[in-house]
Amino acid sequence: MRVSREQMAENRQKILDAASRLFRAKGFEAVSVAEVMKAAGLTHGGFYGHFRSKDDLIACALATACEPPPNRKLDIDAFIKGYLSPRHRENVAGGCPLAGLTAESLRQTPEARAAITDGMQQQLERMTAALQDKGVADPRQAAIGNLAALVGGLMFARACDDPQLSDELLQQTRAWIEQTNQHNSSTADT
């Protein structure tokens, strides 16, 4: 049963959204094409009308997931606080794709690696601008350090099976990053 052009475009987006969430929650390999299609409200046979292969879907879903939400300015302090929060730790499926999928992406197709690299670059640019506005010296270096620590800290807090240690990891990573940013800020040491 053929559907309208708009409906087809909408279905494609549904597939991408479902894939993006499922991949973040379970990893690329643990999610089947049929599972994605079911989550999108379709049957598995229609998949190849939208994508060339599962690898193609992975690359497209990564690009979708890495799209910046709106284009408004980033508040770096609020971002850090939210990033290293229990809420973000619990919300794997809807959380930062860099935290959930970067490690797996390095074994994917060149297209997937290009998508994650692009997402990384965009995130770094946004953070660099935000840190520069805050008066942090060498904002590019600070953005790289901040992002590395954020992603590492969140990943550890998620993997950890001890809730107390997990909370400590979130809090201490956050405190350490914030303190470092203050040290490097021109208006802080007065």
The residues near 99 (Cβ < 8 Å, ≥ 6 apart) are 150, 151, 154, 155, 158
Instruction: Give yes or no for a contact between 15 and 40, defined as CB atoms under 8 angstroms apart.
Output: yes
* Residues between 35 and 94 that touch DNA (CB under 7 A): 35, 37, 42-50, 53-55
User: In 27-109, which ranges are continuous DSSP H helix?
Assistant: 33-39, 54-66, 76-83, 86-90, 97-105
Q: Is residue 3 at the binding interface for DNA, with CB under 7 A as the rule? A: yes
Residue 15 or 143 having the CB closest to a second copy: 143
Check binding of 32 to DNA (CB under 7 A): yes
Give the span between the Cα atoms of 101 and 124, in whole angstroms. 17
Separation of alpha carbons 86 and 33, rounded Å: 31
> 9, 10, 27, 77: which one contacts a second copy (CB under 8 A)?
27
What mask, x for binding a second copy by CB under 8 A, covers residues 95 to 114?
----xx-xxxxxx--x--xx
Is residue 130 part of the contact set for a second copy (CB under 8 A)?
no
Do residues 109 and 120 lie in contact, with contact meaning Cβ atoms separated by under 8 Å? no
Q: Is 5 in the site for DNA (CB under 7 A)?
A: yes
Residue type, position 17, single letter? D
The contact set with a second copy (CB under 8 A) reads 26-27, 29-30, 92, 99-100, 102-107, 110, 113-114, 116-117, 120-121, 140-142, 144-145, 147-153, 155-156, 158-162, 165, 168-169, 172-173, 175-177, 179-180, 183-184
- Interacting residue ranges for DNA, rule: CB under 7 A: 1-8, 11, 31-35, 37, 42-50, 53-55
